[in-house]
Amino acid sequence: MNSISLKNVSKEYRDFALRDVSFTVPQGSIMGLIGENGAGKTTVLKLVLNMIRADAGRIEVFGLDHIKNEREIKEQIGVVMEESCFYEALRCKEAAAILRNLFKTWDDALFRTYAERFGLPWEKQLKEFSRGMKMKLSIAAALSHRPRLLILDEATSGLDPVVRSEILDVFLDFIQDEEHSILISSHITSDLEKVADYITFLHEGRVVLSENKDKMLYGYGILKCGEKEFARIAPEDVLRCRRSAFGYEVLTADKNAAARKYPDLTLDSAALEDVMLLMIKGETV
Amino acid sequence: MDIIISNSSGKPIYEQITSQIKSMIISGELKEGDALPSMRLLAKELRISVITTKRAYDDLERDGFIESFTGKGSFVAQKNVEFIREEQLKAAEEHLKNAVCAAKSSGISRAELEEMLRILYEE
């Protein structure tokens, strides 16, 4: 069963278009949405949340139509956007009072537990909070009505490694329940490299890749070679290549096959960041 | 039960998990019927994705080291000593093949090679 499924979703703006976006988030998994700034990550999340309307395509959440069953779906989703959405003059306890009336399933005790775990001061105004504290508050608020699905937009960007690691722990805790899933957009690929099960890679409003993360990490490889050797590489083995003054970097989809075929060339494994860079900056042959 | 994951080893993480669990089973540290941690717990503790631990457990199950039951979890399978021995034998043969290859390519005699093996085995 899928928590989220998008089929051929398109959305046109004057200067940007999301075209034919399809991917699914299987139940019990973490899907990482990667792509450069402006690739359309936030647009996709807003479409799923029905904050904007798609021009074409179909979006389902928990197998239900995301517009017709919006209320039912939203009771079961926790959302964290990049910026804190709370009024700056509020304190934690006041934020809790507002949220209590918003969700049927709001759990005050759980919110307190998260606030304590994250070290959030109960009586301090939010404008005094650091960026990390605000993000933790947003996450605590998103989790305290016991959602089945978390949708996060750049939740770990701009945070220090210690806070990022704490937040990743929360995600891993959340996913202990096999019915829970997470859709998270980020351009910090190293975070996703650790915890995501699947990766969807957006570029200029299109899905470039949507795959099992391990397949990507252990399948893709980068061949490094000079001009002469590059001529020997079969075009079907070259996904993208990048040329510098002193040689070529070639992204290949099957590292093991490349190792057998070109045993004398230098072959590195590709991190998500390398795949992202070469897919965007590289050329096809 | 200790599982150590190295990020700098070229070996995929799922292989690091399977090889360590296999050696624990072969050495008897994990006994027949022992419960393994759930895939989700293992992923959380190692801070890796569930899909990686699932791959590791699937491989272990395929190779007959563990058995999984829906809703109950994974357990060390009835130890098939013959089977494990066979696997180790195959691995040893593979390494010896490489040794023979290396010897032949640089003119090391069979006698020299056998002598080397004798010394290594008795170490």
**Cβ of A29 and B51 within 8 Å?**
yes
Tell whether B106 is covered by a domain: yes
- Three-state DSSP class for B76? strand
Nearest CB among A176, A195, A269 relative to B49 is that of: A195
pLDDT score for B88 = 81
Tell whether B2 is covered by a domain: no
In this prediction, residue B31 has a pLDDT band, given cuts at 50, 70 and 90, of: confident
CA–CA dist A197, A186 (Å, integer): 14
Q: Considering only CB atoms, which chain B residues are within 8 Å of A194?
A: 47-49
Q: What is the CATH number of the domain that holds B37?
A: 1.10.10.10
Check whether residue B71 and residue B109 sit in a common domain.
Answer: no
Q: Let me know: does A237 contact A258? Beta carbons within 8 Å.
A: yes
The model carries a pTM of 0.82
Check whether residue B70 and residue B17 sit in a common domain.
Answer: yes
Q: Minimal Cα–Cα distance from B79 to chain A, Å?
A: 30
DSSP B28: T
Check whether residue B99 and residue B46 sit in a common domain.
Answer: no
Check whether residue B66 and residue B85 sit in a common domain.
Answer: no
pLDDT in tens, chain A (285 residues): 899 999 999 999 999 999 999 999 999 999 999 998 889 999 999 999 999 999 999 999 999 999 999 999 999 999 998 887 888 899 998 999 999 998 889 999 999 999 999 999 988 999 999 888 899 999 999 999 999 999 999 888 778 888 888 888 999 999 999 999 999 998 878 888 888 999 999 999 999 999 999 888 889 999 999 988 899 999 999 999 999 888 999 999 999 899 899 988 899 988 888 999 999 899 887
Q: Considering only CB atoms, which chain A residues are within 8 Å of B55?
A: 214
Check whether residue B50 and residue B96 sit in a common domain.
Answer: no
CA–CA dist B70, A132 (Å, integer): 39
pLDDT tens across B56-104, in order? Answer: 999 999 988 899 998 889 999 887 667 777 878 898 999 999 999 989 8
Structural domain including B72 reads 13-76
Check whether residue B71 and residue B94 sit in a common domain.
Answer: no
Check whether residue B31 and residue B63 sit in a common domain.
Answer: yes
Tell whether B101 is covered by a domain: yes
Tell whether B55 is covered by a domain: yes
Domain edge (last residue) among B76, B92, B111: B76
Check whether residue B60 and residue B85 sit in a common domain.
Answer: no
Q: How many domains does chain B have?
A: 2
What are the CB-based long-range contacts (under 8 Å, 24+) for A238-247? A238/A284, A238/A285, A239/A278, A239/A279, A239/A282, A239/A284, A240/A278, A240/A279, A240/A282, A240/A283, A240/A284, A241/A278, A241/A282, A241/A283, A241/A284, A241/A285, A242/A278, A242/A281, A242/A282, A242/A283, A243/A283
Q: Considering only CB atoms, which chain A residues are within 8 Å of B43?
A: 172, 175
First to last CA, chain A: 38
What's the ipTM?
A: 0.72
**Cβ of A195 and B12 within 8 Å?**
no
Nearest CA in chain A to B41: A176
**Cβ of A173 and B43 within 8 Å?**
no
Q: Minimal Cα–Cα distance from B40 to chain A, Å?
A: 6
Tell whether B6 is covered by a domain: no
Count A/B contacts: CB-CB distance under 8 Å.
Answer: 43
pLDDT score for B63 = 87
Tell whether B51 is covered by a domain: yes
Tell whether B7 is covered by a domain: no
Q: Considering only CB atoms, which chain A residues are within 8 Å of B51?
A: 29, 197-198, 212-214
Check whether residue B36 and residue B89 sit in a common domain.
Answer: no
The number of angstroms, rounded, from the C-alpha of A268 to the middle of its chain's C-alpha atoms is 25
CA–CA dist A28, A182 (Å, integer): 8
B49 reaches A (C-beta below 8 A): yes
Check whether residue B72 and residue B89 sit in a common domain.
Answer: no
Which residue out of A176, A214, A256 would a mutagenesis test of the B interface target, given it has the greatest number of B Cβ atoms within 10 Å? A214
Nearest CB among A28, A169, A214 relative to B52 is that of: A214
Check whether residue B85 and residue B113 sit in a common domain.
Answer: yes
**Cβ of B41 and A176 within 8 Å?**
yes
Tell whether B4 is covered by a domain: no
B9 reaches A (C-beta below 8 A): no
Check whether residue B64 and residue B97 sit in a common domain.
Answer: no
